[in-house]
Structure 1
């Protein structure tokens, strides 16, 4: 009987210990929870209606200077402590954070630091600057915004060799319209039209090289710039017209 009593007592003690450990762990889980998010359209309406909130650009200062959302203030992750005074005194005031899209973690990092500082009404604009810009919503552009960039290009011969020997290390993206893609594209390519490229870029892995192409270079140049803003580390451009001129084949697909 005594052994049973000891067993029950030991079990209860173990259960209480487990409950205490879980209770201690709960704040950690809460701290890691995702933040509320806001869509591009809702954020646009908030700005147009002049709602009272603080909009925080969590990207680098250089990126902020090139272009940023209207009314945004710059608080990069590594400079949070230095710039915390820019946040409202009211710890319950609404603050919206953004960076360079769904694969950019800077907005959540800065929001987490704001939460640690006691702020409670925090929201993340997950689509970020590239999608906002793509939708044609208002931005503040600096003198470097329209500066032309030099893309890294693959010749038709280089692209053909890559597709034959290293295709698993790259993703080939046709940025033309869907009907153009159906009429003839490079085999193995996926289709993400340039007009919605940033919004749909989440399917592209950052661990691979991304090759964008269009007929003559204009739309793939635009997609290339968007990939840069989305912080893709390995980006390349090719031209479909040159591919065809080299005598290389295209394949058709159904709409």
Structure 2
């Protein structure tokens, strides 16, 4: 009986040791899957100084044709094997990859493919095209780049119902300046000014509908376009002046 007890005890200890070893190994595996990142400013400096590196746009061919960073090649995960010859022959050469911002996984997926192919100096520009464009840095624009888009709009009545009955399924964003937001905004709205919208969009969940609004539509249209480039699936626009004209309330906040 004592032998059985000792054996059972040893088995439990062995299992615990194995579990701890596995738990310790997991973070190492996760860290190995990540890549170094580079800021917008550092990448621009590299381009301005004509540093030797390969820049890869991991977005779709349509997105690349619409607009992309100067000197960038288009290599998607799907077509990686066919596009492998575009990468430098020297496997230690610097390769920088980007896609549509911090919530876009395309650049990391292509980087993982490149790593599996033997490339060892891979860096991800996590902010991606929308932030680069927002900062006014150089891009190569296609023929349809400035083409006007049709937004999906909510009337004041529709928005009022959504905020009362379905608010958990949406995020309402006021894209005006901070002082305008403080003077009066729709209750429950976040404030992300249009001029820095892409760089601060990481707080917006992709699994919810995103509703952007401003006073008359210009800035919310800009934010809407940025959300499209960030690949948000459900985007809507509302107009604050129409909300006020309908006699619906706004709230104030302190700066």
Q: Same fold (TM over 0.5)?
A: yes
- Does residue 140 (structure 1) correspond to residue 133 (structure 2)? The answer is no
The residue aligned with 1:188 is 188
CA distance in 1 between counterparts of 2:191 and 2:217 reads 16
- Paired positions, count: 243
- Residues 18 and 248 of structure 1: is their aligned pair in 2 closer, same or farther, counting only changes over 3 Å? closer
Measure, in 1, the Cα distance between the counterparts of 2:33 and 2:165: 42
Root-mean-square deviation (CA), in Å?
Answer: 2.2
User: Alignment partner of 2:241: what SS?
Assistant: helix
Q: In structure 1, what is the Cα distance between the partners aligned to 2:133 and 2:235?
A: 20
CA distance, structure 1, for counterparts of residue 33 and residue 72 of structure 2: 25
Corresponding residue for residue 88 of structure 2 = 88
Q: Which residue of 2 aligns with 1:248?
A: 248
Query: What does residue range 96-245 of structure 1 map to in structure 2 within 5 Å?
Result: 96-245=96-245
Ranges in structure 1 where 5+ consecutive residues have no aligned partner:
none
| TM-score normalised according to structure 1 size | 0.90
- Once the two structures are TM-superposed, the CA of residue 249 in structure 1 deviates from its matched residue by 1.0
- Residue 222 of structure 1 deviates from its aligned partner by 0.3
2:29 aligned with 1:58: no
**Are 1:73 and 2:73 counterparts?**
yes
Q: Please give the secondary structure, in 1, of the residue aligned with 2:212.
A: strand
What is the CA-CA distance between 1:86 and the residue it aligns to? Answer: 0.1
Segments of 4+ in structure 1 off by > 4 A?
none
Q: CA deviation at 1:31?
A: 7.9
